[in-house]
């Protein structure tokens, strides 16, 4: 994307995930308190209310147990969960597994501290290796939305919607087939790059995961690296919803291009 719109935030809908009812055997447990959800749309980025989607809340602001502080660092892409006294976190069942992955934790239990920080990159966020997309069309109005003609007497007529769907295409260039190594993440948790096909322990969510999760229904937001303020929100159009990366250089398997065909549903511009 133009400028440094490098971070891709995917929304998720708890109602679509079918994680089951939170219970003692199906939950994230924080200091003995049950955490779980069966509804609500969230992402790691700033909250948005979109006409075509509805409200998308910031996951940091979820209804965490009283006395618990949860913060997301957009520079390192990590969460920190803290309380005033030592406490234990447990991830149990489908609910627990989801919250563990969404918060960026690798293990099922943590204890002995009053603060815990993600030891892996959370699911549903990708930091592109390069800070802008190539072959970017910019935002434009889709064809075929205006109809009209002339009458034999020289008059004219036309039909047009007040607002026409806005489209955009671009290509993410030269992404690695495999995500950055665990050592790279440990040295710099905010390291750029995500696997096109293959994950690593510390960066488990790939570009293929992004397409599989978002196509047909869930929006993606773009932000400059280091901020959760979104500059654009879009959905992948049906004709671009199949994951079809291509090699950046012929016969070289280390760098891949990923095409995006999107409908923009929020951007910085204001309609007339």
Closest Cα partner for 87 from 106, 62, 120, 64? 64
For the full predicted model, state whether its pTM sits above 0.85. yes
What angle (nearest 5°) sits at the alpha carbon of residue 77, between those of residues 75 and 83?
105
Across 240-264, average pLDDT: 94
What angle (nearest 5°) sits at the alpha carbon of residue 123, between those of residues 193 and 12?
125
| H or E element, residue 7 | strand 5-10
pLDDT band at 269 (very low <50, low <70, confident <90, very high): low
Asked whether the predicted pLDDT for residue 203 surpasses 70, the reply is yes
Cα 235 to the center of its chain, rounded Å? 11
Asked whether the predicted pLDDT for residue 55 surpasses 80, the reply is yes
| H or E element, residue 212 | helix 207-214
pLDDT band at 2 (very low <50, low <70, confident <90, very high): very low
Euclidean distance between CA atoms 72 and 139, whole angstroms: 30
| Beta carbons within 10 angstroms of residue 105's beta carbon | 23
Asked whether the predicted pLDDT for residue 270 surpasses 80, the reply is no
Across 36-57, average pLDDT: 93
SS3 (DSSP) at 94: helix
What angle (nearest 5°) sits at the alpha carbon of residue 92, between those of residues 89 and 96?
80
Across 144-152, average pLDDT: 87
Across 234-252, average pLDDT: 94
Check if the beta carbon of residue 202 is closer than 8 Å to that of residue 185. yes
Torsion of CA 215, 218, 223, 229, to 10 degrees: 170
Record the tokens describing residue 170, joined without a space. Answer: 């671009």
pLDDT for res 51: 79
Euclidean distance between CA atoms 187 and 202, whole angstroms: 11
Kindly state the percentage of the chain with pLDDT values over 70: 96
Which residues is 109 bridged to in the sheet? 90
pLDDT band at 180 (very low <50, low <70, confident <90, very high): very high
Which of 21-25, 56-60, 168-172, 263-267 shows the lowest mean pLDDT across its residues? 263-267
Reported as half-sphere exposure (CB side, CA atoms, 13 A), residue 69 has a value of 8
As a whole number, the mean pLDDT across the chain is: 93
pLDDT band at 163 (very low <50, low <70, confident <90, very high): confident
pLDDT for res 56: 96
pLDDT band at 220 (very low <50, low <70, confident <90, very high): very high
pLDDT for res 268: 54
Radius of gyration of the chain (CA): 21
Burial group, residue 49, by CB count within 10 angstroms (0-12, 13-18, 19+):
exposed
């Amino acid at each position: 994307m133009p400028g440094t719109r490098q971070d891709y935030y995917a929304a998720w809908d708890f109602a679509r995930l079918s994680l089951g009812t939170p219970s003692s055997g199906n939950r994230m447990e924080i200091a003995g308190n049950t955490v779980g959800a069966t509804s609500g749309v969230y992402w790691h980025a700033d909250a948005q209310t979109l006409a075509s989607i509805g409200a998308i809340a910031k996951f940091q602001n979820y209804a965490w147990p009283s006395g618990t502080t949860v913060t997301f660092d957009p520079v390192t892409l990590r969460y920190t969960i803290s309380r005033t006294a030592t406490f234990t976190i447990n991830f149990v069942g489908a609910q627990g597994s989801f919250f563990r992955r969404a918060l960026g934790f690798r293990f099922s239990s943590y204890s002995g501290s009053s603060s815990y920080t993600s030891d892996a990159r959370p699911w549903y966020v990708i930091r592109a290796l390069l800070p802008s997309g190539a072959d970017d069309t910019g935002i434009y109005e889709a064809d075929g939305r205006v109809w009209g003609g002339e009458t034999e007497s020289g008059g004219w007529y036309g039909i047009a919607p007040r607002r026409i769907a806005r489209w955009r295409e671009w290509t993410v260039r030269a992404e690695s087939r495999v995500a950055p190594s665990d050592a790279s993440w440990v040295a710099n948790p905010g390291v750029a790059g995500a696997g096109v096909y293959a994950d690593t322990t510390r960066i488990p969510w790939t570009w293929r995961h992004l397409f599989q999760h978002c196509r047909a229904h869930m929006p993606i937001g773009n932000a400059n690296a280091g901020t959760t303020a979104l500059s654009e929100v879009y959905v992948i159009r049906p004709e671009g919803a199949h994951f079809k990366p291509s090699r950046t250089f012929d016969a070289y398997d280390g760098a891949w291009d990923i095409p995006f065909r999107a409908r923009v549903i929020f951007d910085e511009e204001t309609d007339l």
